[in-house]
Amino acid sequence: MLNNPFCYTPSPSIVDAARALTKHIDETPELRALFAEGKMLGVLEVEDSTFLYAFSGLAGGKAYVEGFVPPIFDWKPEDIVSSSAEESRRLQDWLFEQYVVVNGRGEQRSIRQIFADRGLVPPGGTGDCAAPKLLQYALSHGLRPIAIGEFWYGASPAREVRRAGAFYPACTGKCGPLLGYMLQGVDVEPNPLESDTHWHLSDPVVRYEDTALIVAEKPAGMLAVPGRPVEGVPPRHSLQDWLTGYCGGPVLACHRLDMDTSGLMVFAKTPEVQAALQQQFEKREVSKAYLARVMAGDKALKAGDRGKITLPLAPDWYDRPRQMVDPEQGKTAVTDYEVLEVRDDGSSFVRLIPYTGRTHQLRVHCAHPSGLGRPIIGDRLYGGSPADRLMLHAARLSFRHPADGRRLTFESDFR
């Protein structure tokens, strides 16, 4: 069964093939020059232990490189020259009508039609990523896919967080609808992010409760609040749902934690208490601290090191929920850090204190070269090494009780 390209741990065979490809590029001057800018590469294992290779976009301006599968449709930028927005739109429609892909049932459809079926318009570059190139070649040649992985080669770009040799899931904006069609008829694992199957480490723990509010520890892998309904996908169970059952009545969210992050959260039992707590969060009167275990890296760290990370963050619109560093459109994100312990393997435990609340702020601040340059272990989106969970935990939460003004402080550790 093929691993799900949107959430996976690469198989040993894919890891070995990626290392062999990296070594081949490093030892071949012509290839090294083509990929010098940094590139997402893909490996697909098919039956009979055969491996196919692909690169995203162009390599040194080339669509065809010996040893890699061809593009789904070959075109040149000069083919899409227009004098008006309307003409540009028509040319894009024509282009994506030429990208015809096959799925596991032997059916064919253009990228424009696949996106139109969902009421969407394909973003620029759709169909040029490594994963769809690999699947198109395999399925159109009658080869059964067994395992797939996409990894980064070369230096990290300035805006995105990409670590050389790290594997990344397929993007959601460009590849989500496209791979969803191509994988129809393929025996592929379900996406664990669309079920509660990977919430298995622990149950929520209630730390405090009174008539106004409740404080609990969320396990990693559990949604904090109910997610948006997705057609054909069963609803995920959230901490808010769990606490509603526990309390025998509705609870109201006052803040958020990433699904992959564990730790302390407070929920209100009335709209008035919710509004009062949310105001404290907005005014930054709530004290928060996180614990994280980060990978070894090039930057030397020692116990006691402290510092401040300030980077402007913005959504990667074509690969939600990933964030990127964007000096022009990004919003300032500020985090203090302190190194608590450095282990023999080079990994470190750090305390992180955010002063802003941007999406994935701590994850990007740890992983980006202008931050710690050390992804959090288990961070599948930003190049962290594989682990059973994201090693990020909301370890301290302190706020004023809306009823009487007394300060409530809670602390916890990794469970």
The question of whether 241 is a catalytic residue gets the answer: no
Q: Check 48, 196, 241, 258 and give the catalytic one.
A: 258
Residue with tokens 């004098």: 83
Residues acting as catalytic residues: 258
